[in-house]
Structure 1
Amino acid sequence: MGELCVHSVLVTGANRGLGLGFVQHFLRMPKPPQWIFATCRDPKGQRAQELKDLASKHPNLVIIALEVTNPASIKAAAAKVAEHLGGSGLNLLINNAGMVKPKTLDSETLEDMTETYTTNTAGPLLMGQAFLPLLKKAVQGSPGSGLSCSKAAIINISSIGGSIASSFGWDMMQITSYRCSKAALNMLSKCQSLAYREHGVLCVALHPGWVQTELGSAAGHTPPVTVDDSVQGMLKVLSSLSEKETGTFLDWEGNVIPW
């Protein structure tokens, strides 16, 4: 994990679950990032208390209000991040914010599908667009050639539920809108990898495992993977990524997942 050396990172949905886990792990690194931008919908709310407690002890942790389904909110957040970074760029964008509606195929609605897609798929698209200038700036400030997470990368937190080749968990939870949105996120990751490669930005989709979070437990089952293990695994994977992995769909242990 020590190989992952970034000057700045932004994590969406950082007030709980995997997002908060990422923030905690970055803070504990031997060489923590100079800037950790933790975004959530309501930084002043009760659900962000743990994040606020961390920020009071760590001056390199900046909490920013961000609603990933709102273009104006994203634009404002990008401006705040740029202000903090001064002339430098953003190395790592982790699109972690997500949602699930635990419903069967028969009970899915247009509203559910639209809301889930907007958060899980359109959100990461808009984030990539808004933060690309800062990612490109990070590339310009990094020596050497090739792609890596230490230089500039977009990491989209996906799910094996978005794998068309796998029916993992179908008997326990159909969650059709979630599965569809994550399959679409995987394609978005591929599209971003193709479009942003020329700018030196690496893009991957990561399955964090079935993790013990509010979202992971939404169907009423206890997931097998802890937040700590998942995040530690994902950071190890990120430290090893290079040009040949851009556009791929991997799990938290570095295994390739079939699309």
Structure 2
Amino acid sequence: MSSWAIVGATRGIGFEYVKQLSLDPKNTVIALIRSQATAGPLNELAATRKNIRIIETDLSSLTSLKETADSISKVTAGKLDVLIYNAYSSGTDEARLLTPSAFQGKEDIFKREIDESLNVNLFQVVHTVNALLPLIENGQQKKIIYISSGIGDIPTTRAIEMPNFLGYSVSKAAGNILMAKYAVELKAKGILTLALSPGWVETDAGECISSSPEAFQWMLASFQKMDPRVKGMISTEESVKSQLSVIDSLDEKLTGAFISHRGNDKDWF
């Protein structure tokens, strides 16, 4: 039996993780969510699969995270095999499309953009991992997975020539190095970490792109500068299936790396 905790599980990639993992009755799947307001489909799935547990938590609250760790411990007998941190912020609406030089005279907007992104994509990652670390130490697989993005990669940014999404890109790059730091620190305890890009995925967040032909073509053309084979977004089902294969193969040689859902540092999209 394996125990999994999915942070950010109400929709998109996180929800697909819950769906695929809970198909195996030997898995215990802990779905960590911010609010029940958007958890309708998740609750419906949990009603039919008894190996799903839903826990509301506030990642910005150390007290809430401690309570969450205690709740998980009661379900899993004090252990956790795999933590998948899928919560994220794509930045603020007012700044998402601005380039670095466009923030001249808009320093307050720049600060909000970076603060918002770093809060969820870095600070809350540390708090969550640290709160659940004692459970992971007791697990069998002992894996920490951070869902990142190819646009948080420097060579990729240079290749696709995408100067915006600054807060998102910077914070994901920070999360990547964080996983490498954890890998170095926790290797002696047998704990493995990985920063994993899911690809260009059909999620609610991607609807603003797919619903606009101009935005879709701009992003597609950007990604094709690096990989002409890219034709569009992939489904959450395909992405998570590929990610789970990569997670299954995670070992000491790979720990701390940043790779794609294809298991390499090239096929990001």
Same fold (TM over 0.5): yes
Structure 1 residue ranges without an equivalent (≥5)? 1-5, 143-150
- Give deviations 1:82-105, integer Å, cap 9, x for gaps: 12122x410000000011133312
- Give deviations 1:57-103, integer Å, cap 9, x for gaps: 111101111222332222221111012122x4100000000111333
- Are residues 1:61 and 2:52 paired? yes
Aligned residue number for residue 190 of structure 2: 200
Distance 1:131 1:26, change over 3 A: same
The whole-number CA distance in structure 2 between the counterparts of 1:72 and 1:109 is: 30
Aligned residue number for residue 252 of structure 1: 261
SS in 1 for 2:253: helix
Distance 1:12 1:183, change over 3 A: same
The whole-number CA distance in structure 2 between the counterparts of 1:57 and 1:118 is: 35
SS in 1 for 2:60: coil
- Are residues 1:39 and 2:48 paired? no
Pick the aligned partner of 1:224 from 216, 223, 233. Answer: 233
Aligned residue number for residue 226 of structure 2: none
Stretch deviating more after TM superposition (73-82 or 97-106): 97-106
The whole-number CA distance in structure 1 between the counterparts of 2:259 and 2:23 is: 24
Kindly report the root-mean-square deviation, in angstroms, between the aligned alpha carbons of the 2 structures. 1.9
Structure 2 residue ranges without an equivalent (≥5)? 104-108, 217-231
The TM-score normalised by the length of structure 1 is 0.85
Aligned residue number for residue 118 of structure 2: 117
Distance 1:169 1:63, change over 3 A: farther
Q: Percent identity?
A: 28
The whole-number CA distance in structure 1 between the counterparts of 2:16 and 2:26 is: 14
Tell me if structure 2 keeps the 8 A contact 1:160–1:257: no
Give, as a single letter, the amino acid of the residue that structure 2 aligns with 1:56: A
- The total of aligned residue pairs comes to 236
**Which structure is larger by alpha-carbon Rg, 1 or 2?**
2
More helix by share: 2
SS in 1 for 2:154: coil
- Are residues 1:97 and 2:87 paired? yes
SS in 1 for 2:39: helix
Deviation (angstroms), 1:203 = 0.2
The whole-number CA distance in structure 1 between the counterparts of 2:48 and 2:33 is: 19
Aligned residue number for residue 225 of structure 2: none
- Are residues 1:77 and 2:71 paired? no
Pick the aligned partner of 2:251 from 242, 247, 258. Answer: 242
